[in-house]
Structure 1
Amino acid sequence: MNIAFVTAELAPFAKEGGLGDVAAALPREYRRAGHHVRVYAPYYTLAAKRLELAWDTQRSFVLACRGAPCRFGLYHHRTDDGVDICFLRCDELFARPGIYGENGGGYPDNLLRFALFQQAVIESCGADGWIPRVMQLNDWHTALMPLYLMERRKRDARFAQTKTVFTIHNLAFQGVFPSWQYEYVNLPVNYYTPGRLEHFGEINCMKAALANANMLTTVSPAYALEIQTGELGCGFDGLLRRRRKRLLGILNGIDTDAWNPAADPAIPAAYTAAHPEGKAVCKAALQREMGLAESPDTPLIGVVARLTSQKGIDLILEGLQNMLSPGAQIAVLGKGDPALEAALVAAAEQRPAEMAVRIAFDERLSHLIEAGADMFLMPSRFEPCGLNQMYSLRYGTVPIVRNTGGLADTVVNVTPETLHDGTANGFVFNLADAGEMVNAVHNAITLYRTDRRAWRLVQFAGMMRNMSWARRAAEYLHLFRQIVAPGVTRKAEGTRLKAAVRKTKVRKAGAGKAGGTRQKAHARKAKLLASRLERPRRRTPARRAAGSRARQGNAIRR
């Protein structure tokens, strides 16, 4: 299957958030599964500084832009993994210091920049005859693509079967522009309607995909439900509820090679779940680097985040004194709101032995914080997926998170029951409230100090969790197959059902007890397959546990 992955960011060349990591990892897994993959991204000036690629091909083509020609260059490179990277270059639009803007503001011509980028993607596909079967689009910068495909199909039948999957990484960023900029979109005026681009008198790029893509995905199952509510739907909860049968939440994964405490070059000592001794070495190194008092028994809390209210940084400031009162330390790394940056720095100056702040994006230090901290704090007001809690689980750094989005999907709260069944891997609080956050932190500190065996079990559960991209890619590929050939998937299920029924009939007169047991087993299989045809069911943790207990009971009876 030809899969085009269209993105505004691509790590390590141009990245401002988690989207860049997704764009680097997910297409690689598609290729490993045997599919032909192209990643399309703009060629930014900042990316050019990091590019050391040998270009396999270079081409150029011209697009019409408000009646004037706009030249794009296509730079193609095939990676060692077999993924084709296609950078689309137009220096007039993308030769700038930032990806989306500078000094906290967006570029005034962002609609024009990304509208032309999307048109260039379709043009480049058509130019060399590589027609994608599925186009995976990401956030508002690629959300006009379903409309451009509608228009292209009128004159190019090769795109008639191309399907679009739009992935919502953060619904809050929608690409909203004044109506007078509609000429930048380069579409007929009949596309400026409430069912396509118009939203309360303005252009809303995100709406184009939410209303017109073949399928919608978000980056966690919980976030897929949250955005159908008035609280987190950002004005589109009604539309998303209407399209809920075409909305699916699939968790992000992490790069388990880059984030691996057993072989991480950014940390001073390697360790594993079975041999965690190196974590103490990392803790001491982190305390030294951040200027904190070196103390192996003092609980050390890590924070790596954009310093914004969405990430709950104001809650940390509000609850700081009570949070550290049991004798804890906190190390903070990030950039963001200047007011929050200044408040954090001032707080650290008042308690230098307990708190350290680094205002920066520092990849090496973020690895050291994940490895050296005992706990990792994420009090986000909303979090579509979140990656740092997964890094923390991987590194045995117990996450303390708010019950929202991907945090809710990945962190299992410590309770007597979850400790007993081995699923507890962190601490969860419900409200975006400083008091609740402090209580969760104190609960973590209490367990850390009073029951090290239970603490090790919590660490072990997190480190053993499978958070690889291979697992997530399989879920996306299953979705792609469903929308490309929906009848084929169900036909295959039906064929398996008929085969199971035939086997049941053939063995119906099976000899003795053994024959009867086989007959019952095949009947159960047929019933299960029939239920899948009627309504696909997910295996929840409760169902897995029930299945495990049933198997154990069968083994005892035998």
Structure 2
Amino acid sequence: MNILFVSSECYPLIKTGGLADVVGALPLAFDPSITNTTVFLPGFPDVLKNIKNTQKIAEFTDLAGGKSSLVKGTSSTGLNVIVMIAPHLFDLEGNPYVDMQGHDRAGNHIRYAAFSKAASDLSIGKLADLYTFDCVHAHDWQAGLTFAYLEAENLPKGPKRILTIHNLAFQGLFPKEIFAQLRLPSSMFSSNQLEYWGQVSYLKAGVVFSDHVTTVSPTYAAEIKTEELGMGFGGLLNAIKDRVSGITNGIDQGIWDPESDPQITASYSAQSLAGKALCKKALQEKMGLTRSVKKPLFCVISRLTTQKGLDLVLKAIPHLLKNGAQIAILGSGDHDLEHRYLEAADKYKGSVSTYIGYNEVLAHQVQAGADFILIPSRFEPCGLTQLCAMRYGTIPVVTRVGGLNDTVIDCNESALKLGLGTGIHLNDVTENALIESLDRSLGLFHSKKLTNKIRKNGMKQDLSWKSPAQAYNDLYSL
């Protein structure tokens, strides 16, 4: 089978979040003798800098007002990629979706429409006749219109269409006035197709014209079919519930491996945890925290948003410090939360450290050096940081939502008797529930034997892409 992934991100070429990790790792988990995968990407500067072995395969003179071309190449990890080079659309430094002020970039509607149109044409051999695909696997709203353009071709038999929703909160909504620019049949601007409360929704196009919709965990697949957590899509997704399913993400266990990670101070494993203490001391020194293995070290590696519950973590910092703990924050997001975390670091020097931005090397070092990772999300499609944390023996403190619920086993009394606990669950997304879970964490930390048992439970989990890749392969084959 030839599969075309259509995505705006792919690690290690370009990354703003978990989407890139999934698109970068899942194709490599397939058996290449059965499933041949190509990733189609926009030609953002970071992509063009990092792609290797390039060869032009197509050229077109007018797509959304400018010249464009397609080049094939490979990533440093061996992924086969095709990149759409269109400087008038993608010559953007920084975040591919928002500007420096955090506002949606002007022209996003035409940028991702052109990308989706090119993906549609590529998938059926209209742009490069050597390339045709059995299945198109589109990811999130940026690729959602791909299926609308395929539908408009009226083919007797086209490629199978799979849409993965990584986060339903991002729906690709634009004013109805832009519809004419999409060059789609006027009949598609209707309530049962692209129209969404008087706007155009690119994600809805992907849902309506897909053969199957996946999300990144079974619990999230159930949640988004409800009015409460469906974010306006609950009715639509429930109406097609037989073709909506959840497949839990994995991680690349070769990249996230404390036994061989060259970016951390000392190696360690479930059989020998000694190196983790050295990683903790190194992280404390690097982030300006008081060096002490006896102080519980909590961390956050996340977008700084209220969705992630990080407003609650701010309120809980005094309680942590009163109990002798430290906290290291790595992330960016809402400017108000960024400012408040920087203020906390300034106020509590030696106990709170904040790094605004994303740094892949530092993320590995924080995972290796911390004792606990805080993920009190209000909703969480899957989450990858808790998977990486467990791989590094860092205990996740999570809410019972989405993929957090599916991947972290609460170390309650029953689970501990069975030797199954891997983390701590919050009972609710409130300040009091977070404080209660922090107290459980602090109590756990002071029992080294029990802490190490839970660390090892997490480290022994199969968090690879093997099982998810098989589930996707089965879906492609239906």
Indicate the residue corresponding to 1:465 in structure 2: 461
Alpha-carbon distance between aligned partners in 1 of 2:453 and 2:146, rounded to the nearest angstrom:
47
The answer to whether 1:423 aligns with 2:409 is no
What number of residue pairs does the alignment pair up? 473
Which of 100, 109, 119 is residue 111 of structure 1 equivalent to?
109
Alpha-carbon distance between aligned partners in 2 of 1:310 and 1:8, rounded to the nearest angstrom:
22
Indicate the residue corresponding to 1:26 in structure 2: 26
- The 8 Å contact of residues 135 and 164 in structure 1, kept in 2 or not, is answered as yes
For normalisation by structure 1, the TM-score amounts to 0.82
**Runs of 4+, deviation exceeding 6 Å:** none
Larger Rg: 1
Alpha-carbon distance between aligned partners in 2 of 1:82 and 1:13, rounded to the nearest angstrom:
11
- Farther-moved stretch of structure 1 (349-358 vs 440-449): 349-358
* Larger relative contact order, structure 1 or 2 (CA cutoff 8 Å, min sep 6): 2
- Farther-moved stretch of structure 1 (389-398 vs 322-331): 322-331
Indicate the residue corresponding to 1:297 in structure 2: 294
Tell me how far 1:29 sits from its aligned partner. Answer: 1.8
Provide the alpha-carbon RMSD of the alignment: 1.6
Deviations, residues 131-157 of structure 1 (Å, cap 9, x unaligned): 211111100011112221112234xx5
**Larger % of helix: which?**
1
- The 8 Å contact of residues 299 and 328 in structure 1, kept in 2 or not, is answered as yes
Unmatched tracts of structure 1, length 5 or more: 483-558
Which of 328, 337, 359 is residue 356 of structure 2 equivalent to?
359
- The 8 Å contact of residues 320 and 326 in structure 2, kept in 1 or not, is answered as no
Aligned to 2:54, the other structure's residue is in SS state coil
Tell me how far 1:71 sits from its aligned partner. Answer: 2.6
Tell me how far 1:30 sits from its aligned partner. Answer: 2.5
Alpha-carbon distance between aligned partners in 1 of 2:78 and 2:380, rounded to the nearest angstrom:
32
- The 8 Å contact of residues 176 and 204 in structure 1, kept in 2 or not, is answered as yes
Tell me how far 1:74 sits from its aligned partner. Answer: 0.6
Q: Percent identity?
A: 37
Indicate the residue corresponding to 2:89 in structure 1: 93
Aligned to 2:264, the other structure's residue is in SS state coil
Tell me how far 1:82 sits from its aligned partner. Answer: 6.4
The answer to whether 1:238 aligns with 2:235 is yes
Indicate the residue corresponding to 2:136 in structure 1: 135
The answer to whether 1:167 aligns with 2:164 is yes
Alpha-carbon distance between aligned partners in 1 of 2:440 and 2:248, rounded to the nearest angstrom:
27
Tell me how far 1:49 sits from its aligned partner. Answer: 3.1
Deviations, residues 447-488 of structure 1 (Å, cap 9, x unaligned): 210x22221111111000001112211111011112xxxxxx
Aligned to 2:37, the other structure's residue is in SS state strand
For normalisation by structure 2, the TM-score amounts to 0.96
Alpha-carbon distance between aligned partners in 2 of 1:136 and 1:439, rounded to the nearest angstrom:
42
- The 8 Å contact of residues 220 and 252 in structure 1, kept in 2 or not, is answered as yes
Indicate the residue corresponding to 2:276 in structure 1: 279
- The 8 Å contact of residues 63 and 120 in structure 1, kept in 2 or not, is answered as no
Tell me how far 1:81 sits from its aligned partner. Answer: 7.2
Indicate the residue corresponding to 1:59 in structure 2: 58
Aligned to 1:105, the other structure's residue is in SS state coil
Unmatched tracts of structure 2, length 5 or more: none
Alpha-carbon distance between aligned partners in 2 of 1:62 and 1:101, rounded to the nearest angstrom:
27
Residues 90-489 of structure 1 mapped to structure 2, 5 A cutoff:
90-98=86-94, 99-103=96-100, 104-125=102-123, 126=125, 127-154=128-155, 160-449=157-446, 451-482=447-478
Letter in 2 for 1:221: P
Indicate the residue corresponding to 1:545 in structure 2: none
Tell me how far 1:350 sits from its aligned partner. Answer: 1.9
Deviations, residues 246-273 of structure 1 (Å, cap 9, x unaligned): 0110011101111100011110100000
Deviations, residues 178-203 of structure 1 (Å, cap 9, x unaligned): 11101221101111111110111111
Deviations, residues 496-516 of structure 1 (Å, cap 9, x unaligned): xxxxxxxxxxxxxxxxxxxxx
Aligned to 1:22, the other structure's residue is in SS state helix
- Aligned in 2, Cα 1:217/1:177: closer, same or farther, shift over 3 Å? same
Indicate the residue corresponding to 2:15 in structure 1: 15
- Aligned in 2, Cα 1:457/1:32: closer, same or farther, shift over 3 Å? farther
